[in-house]
Chain A
């Protein structure tokens, strides 16, 4: 199981300043959104784990899934594939009009 420094307290906030990254393995400055799991709806099927192209999703001790926020790029593939709809994307950084996709 992967351990990250962000596991303990991560509070997504809007208008946060994009960090200057010194560790070039991390993808913290790439993303605008972050996946959040609703544990009431989650049935632990693991489809999000299968569909993550970065290998950033891992399983908890309780069996639920979480994103490793060091490697997550915010592509929202997991939320598109989740068929119970328990994953919502929460905006972390403010997106300017020219940064739409």
Chain B
């Protein structure tokens, strides 16, 4: 086996830049993605840098309030230390949770107003899909046990939110991509491309969450595979306004297989599954048309 080139220890660097600990649950997809990204990026920093800047994959429990000043100090110190060392520093990578990205106006404002040469990763564990399962408004008294599904008209709008958010796609990013940790070498290539590009870059990473989506933690990689194979989360990249699909799916599986894996869809009525299928098909065909044009 040592003679073959397709052999994981030969393809990846042996050094581990990820700090293992108690921050993530069993089988966390976000932790898996962060570890692969840390491997792809490599050990950044020369010895002159302060210890605060040498955190590679520790992007977990930050609030909306603590995130922005932390980011400011990190980037300021990176610039200062690279000036001290006399060498050009690598591009900084920032990992953001999807919920923080949607709720926090700070992050979005920073991304669009300033041109800081950074690579943004958005770890998407689909917090917005909870609205699809039950309505956003809290139910009235004693109605909590009854499920309140969203009307069929709104489902398409919610399902299409899973893609790259519109302000990012319309903004001035040099490189935009979607990735998934169940395709690890695809993710590694995209991170390297994002680091090589000039200006800001954005990668949306699907991170299956066993505790939130309620499935067995040994199925995290399979959940990511199913999301790609059903066409629910297509993998593509946008470079110089050219869309290119990196993982082409010829025979797409029905979305029902993906939804049945997760027990959080238990209260979701079965009559509405064709509506989700329609929304997924429309999104995928739009993407195909854009890629051909």
Contacts and interface: CB of A to CB of B under 8 A. Distances in A.
Interface of A: 24-25, 27, 30-31, 43-47, 49-56, 59, 63, 71, 73-77, 79-81, 101
Given A25-B21, A51-B32, A53-B27, A44 B1 contact: yes
Interface string B193-220: 0000000000000000010000011111
A55 B34 CA distance: 11
B130 interface: no
Given A44-B1, A53-B31, A74-B26, A79 B8 contact: no
Given A75-B26, A76-B27, 9 more contacts: A25-B22, A27-B21, A30-B26, A51-B221, A75-B27, A75-B210, A75-B217, A80-B218, A80-B222
Interface string B1-37: 1100001110010101010111011111101100110
A63 B2 CA distance: 10
A77 B217 contact: yes
B184 interface: yes
Contact of A75 (B7, B18, B36, B218): B218
Contact of B216 (A27, A43, A56, A101): A101
Contacts of A79: 218
Nearest to A54: B20
B24 A54 contact: yes
B7 A80 contact: no
A75 B208 CA distance: 14
Contacts of A31: 26
B2 to A, nearest CB: 8
B22 A43 contact: no
A54 B21 CA distance: 7
A77 B8 contact: no
Closest CB pairs A-B (n = 10): A46-B8, A75-B27, A53-B32, A75-B26, A76-B218, A80-B218, A75-B217, A53-B31, A71-B20, A54-B20
A53 B218 contact: no
Contacts of A63: 2
B20 A56 contact: yes
Contact of B35 (A25, A45, A55): A55
Contacts of A24: 22
| Residue of A46, A47, A55 most packed against chain B (CB within 10 A) | A55
Contact of A101 (B2, B36, B217, B221): B217
Given A51-B221, A79-B218, A45 B8 contact: yes
Contacts of B26: 30-31, 73-75
B23 to A, nearest CB: 10
